[in-house]
Amino acid sequence: MDKLSIVVPCYNEEESIPIFYSAVSKVLAKMSKVVPEYWFINDGSSDHSLNEIKTISESDRNVHYISFSRNFGKEAAIYAGLQSAIGNYVVVMDVDLQDPPSFLPKMYELIKSGKYDSVGCRRIDRTGESKFKSFLSDKFYSIINKISKTQIVAGARDYRMMTRQMVNAVLSMKEYSRFSKGIFSWVGFKTKYIEYHNVERVAGETDWTTWKLFKYAMSGIADFSQAPLNLAMWIGIFSFALSLIGIIFIIIRKIINPFSSVFGWASLVSVILLIGGLQLLCIGIIGRYIGKIYLQVKNRPIYIVKEKK
Ligand code: UDP
Ligand code: MG
């Protein structure tokens, strides 16, 4: 018998939780070779999510939960769940049923074959999502895959089943700013992706506005690539070279024609503005990384538990 841990981050999901539990337990009941273990992580919900989870855990002793003292974010919730899970296989799932439970037997079969250390799921379309959001996502994947050594599969969800070995590798990454898509790829191992068409949430609403996603993407780039820092350096080198050429040009002109009149102050102002802008941009890029270092060295816990069972 294998123990399969199911890690479920929940933030204001009172409606989805019971639907999720009944859908997943139905699928798991058919998987005769696994004993399930659920870890619901209540990520500081302000609704009755915790009560819903408690009700389920009273009727099923395989259901455990961790409740955070406030909202720490999905990444922290996943980390907490992975830390508590004891299964030899662990699967991370969203509670809104956007990660179809019907894939579980297939994922288990693939991982059991021994050919893969992890089985992930990847959406191949984004029906139901705004065009603008999909456009930004596409751009994000193409940019990060160009500038980072850590390759991130487009459309890959956090829905994945992992072996104990891979879970331990993920847990060994104790960084404060957690970008799971990058972490799952960074640890290596062999991953098989199951492709599927997007499924819309069963209930409730997504908490991810386009702006929030954009910030998350930017943070992910800083977590897994140093290219922006190099960009700052290249901008510096380029404008330095350009100014050298300018200085040489002015000196030569002065020698050839010592009485040339003053002209071009407008272009001068725009160049000053341009350089000033580039400097601020570069400082901003460096600032992003310093901010990450600052948070990391403070060594604050990734989450704080209020209740656990
Ligand atoms: N979630 C969480 N903490 C948060 C935001 C979301 O634990 O601060 C959970 C949420 O309950 C859900 C999962 O993360 O189970 C994915 O969230 P959502 O469906 O809003 O994201 P999407 O599917 O749109 O990427
Ligand atoms: Mg969702």
pLDDT tens, the chain, 309 aa long: 899 999 999 999 998 999 999 999 999 999 888 999 999 999 999 999 999 999 999 999 999 999 999 999 999 999 999 999 999 999 999 998 888 999 999 999 999 998 999 999 988 887 777 888 888 888 888 888 888 888 888 888 899 999 999 999 999 998 888 888 899 999 999 999 998 888 877 777 777 888 888 888 888 888 888 888 888 888 888 888 888 888 888 888 888 887 766 667 777 877 888 888 888 888 888 888 998 898 888 888 999 999 988
d(CA 272, CA 143): 30
Backbone angles phi, psi at 273, to 5 degrees: -60, -40
pTM of the full predicted structure? Answer: 0.81
- Nearest-CA neighbor of 214 among 130, 148, 282, 289? 130
| Ligand 1 centroid, distance to 227 Cα (angstroms) | 29
Which two structure tokens, joined as six digits, stand for 262? Answer: 């003053």
Atom of ligand 1 nearest to the CA of 72: 8
Mutate-to-test residue for ligand 1 from 96, 98, 99, 213, highest number of ligand atoms within 8 A of CB: 96
CA gap 294, 300 in Å, rounded:
10
Q: Do 41 and 9 contact (CB within 8 A), yes or no?
A: yes
Domain 2-206+301-308 sits in CATH 3.40.630.30: no
Q: Chain-centre distance of CA 203, in angstroms? A: 23
* Closest-CA residue to 15 (of 81, 99, 95): 95
Q: Six-digit token pair at 111? A: 């991982």
Mutational test site, ligand 1, from 45, 74, 180, 302, max ligand atoms within 8 Å of CB: 74
Q: Is 230 in the pocket of ligand 1 (CB under 6 A)?
A: no
To which H or E segment does residue 306 belong? strand 305-308
Closest residue to atom 3 of ligand 1, CA basis: 74
